[in-house]
Amino acid sequence: MSRVEALSMSGLSAIPAEYVRPPSERHGLGDAYDQAAKHAAGSPLIPVVDVAAFDPSDPGSAPSLAVVDAVRAAAAEWGVMHVAGHGIPSDLLDALRAAGTDFFRMPIEDKEAYANDPAAGQLEGYGSRLAANESGQREWEDYLFHLVHPDHAANHARWPAHRPEYVPVTRQFGELVSGLASRLLAILSLGLGVPAPTLEHRLRLVETAGDDHEKEHDEELLDLLLKLKINYYPVCPQPDLAVGVEAHTDVSALSFILTNGVPGLQVKRAGRDGEGWVTARDEPGTLVVHVGDALEILSNGRYTSVLHRGLVNRVATRVSWVVFAEPPPDRVLLQPLPELLADGQEQPRFAPRTFRQHLEHKVLKKKQSEEEEAKKAPVAPNLLPAVVN
């Protein structure tokens, strides 16, 4: 498989046909720098929330309640926020950026030693796409993907050995993001009017039936799984036709994003289709946090899983570090919190399902949608953009 980096370095002036997005997906596409400049004046801004003042030992204090209200509003109205006061040291983030960037600076043939094999079920490692697209379209990115937390479950053979700092820096980052995920889930629980531990508890809870006569249940809590994907978006000669990552929502509960400062993230504001795509600005010192599908299900839709995509540009390589906080795939049941449905307050908007069942359903739904699109009349040949194979 050709790596996107190799295509970018070849000096081509037009992208191969399989990277060209259909006209229906091109609204708001363009060079990421141009889109960021256009959205800098007068466009809605993704909210910035500072969580430093939240005190888990005193969640009812005025500073804590202010944080809860700000995070709740961002999660409900946008499904995404820039989080300041996250507690992860800036020198660690700089070291993480350096270690990941050094991996992608290696020659492609050296990176291939870490290549994954999705067809064989080996998703972790170096690759150029995580899932096949039924229409054959590809995304303008390479990536490195592996479990980062809990460390005892990680396959360290998939972690780069080049640059010795990669393993300890990435391990420490995973531990701190795990703590931040717990903190945000506590804040988001309070925003729903339920006790602080509720959301994380439900994401980790395995219920096993006890004595049928006594109707008792024993509780088992499993670890949340944190998976790191380092996205590498090389320079693209036609950013108005390509995407780094196509429009999607994350299946995770929360996703945490760090970048090298090059723009590219676009989001659709929840319930505001008329506003189109909003290009995220760079907010130094913050992490971007997305609400994912799992949290949308638990909140019965009060928090919105944000639709987003990644743009590319003509002048600078963009790198992003994304950590997906996911429940265990098979033993935790995702369903709206019972507390939100008590006394008929709300009707459940989501049927119970495991994380794996949700993922499989989402993939099937996407495949059916693409098949429906393929049945529509093709674009006239003279309307197709000039591309090279």
What residues act catalytically?
A: 229, 248, 250, 308
Q: CA 263, CA 213: separation in Å to the nearest integer?
A: 59
Burial of 202 (0-12, 13-18, 19+ CB in 10 A): buried
> Could you give the C-alpha distances from 57 to 50, 53, 54, 64, 328, in angstroms and in order?
18, 12, 9, 10, 28
Residue 126's nearest CA partner among 151, 100, 150, 97 is 100
What's the CA dihedral at 51, 56, 57, 63 to 10 degrees?
30
Q: CA 311, CA 302: separation in Å to the nearest integer?
A: 28
Sign of the dihedral through C-alpha 33, 39, 44, 50? positive
> Could you give the C-alpha distances from 346 to 94, 192, 299, 302, 340, in angstroms and in order?
45, 13, 11, 11, 7
**Residue 146 contacts residue 158 (beta carbons within 8 Å):** yes
- In one-letter notation, the amino acid at residue 153 is A
* Residue the block writes with tokens 């202010």: 66
What's the CA dihedral at 279, 282, 287, 292 to 10 degrees?
0
